[in-house]
Structure 1
Amino acid sequence: MATFDDAQIHQQIDALVQEERTLREKLGRGEITAAEERQRLQAAETTLDRLWDLLRRRDARREFGENPDDATEQSATVVEGYQQ
């Protein structure tokens, strides 16, 4: 992912949350299968986790007087491993 500012990250988060809603609606209308919904939701949720982690990293750098733009996005494997 390229370097984004906080507003751009929040825009991406908002878009992914809307995508989650849309997927659930499509499933309810029978436009996609449950398997398709699960697969696409999992991808969106993983991206959301990475974006929220990046925002936390940016906030931490800012809190300690460092440049938030130096925060790096972690891989999905790393971010998903936090929960274990």
Structure 2
Amino acid sequence: MLDAMTDDKSLLDHIHELVEEEKKLRAAHHGLDSEGRQRLEHLEQELDQYWDLLRQRRAREEFGANPDEAAERSVNEVESYLQ
């Protein structure tokens, strides 16, 4: 679940932290146990949610709306987007 982040910088800082953890897990991918694989899957989902929220904020700002009104979307909703 996403925290109540108040600005794009906070979101980006957290995204960078998650990416670093993801890189470490991927580097050890062959040695990951079940818990590590679950953590990696959770990180991927959380990153998708944070990127989605950041895109929402930026789009709202670009079109003159309040970026603070951007809302977290569920993992299912974010994961079902076509890439």
- TM-score norm. by structure 1 comes to 0.82
Give runs of ≥4 in structure 1 deviating > 6 Å: none
- Percent of residue pairs bearing the same amino acid type: 49
RMSD after superposition: 1.8
1:19 is matched with which residue: 11, 18, 21?
A: 21
Distance 1:27 1:56 in 2: 29
Distance 2:17 2:5 in 1: 18
Q: Which has the larger radius of gyration?
A: 1
- Stretches of structure 1 that go unaligned for 5 or more consecutive residues are none
Q: Which residue of structure 1 lines up, in the alignment, with residue 43 of structure 2?
A: 44
Measured after TM superposition, the shift of residue 73 of structure 1 is 1.0
- Stretches of structure 2 that go unaligned for 5 or more consecutive residues are none
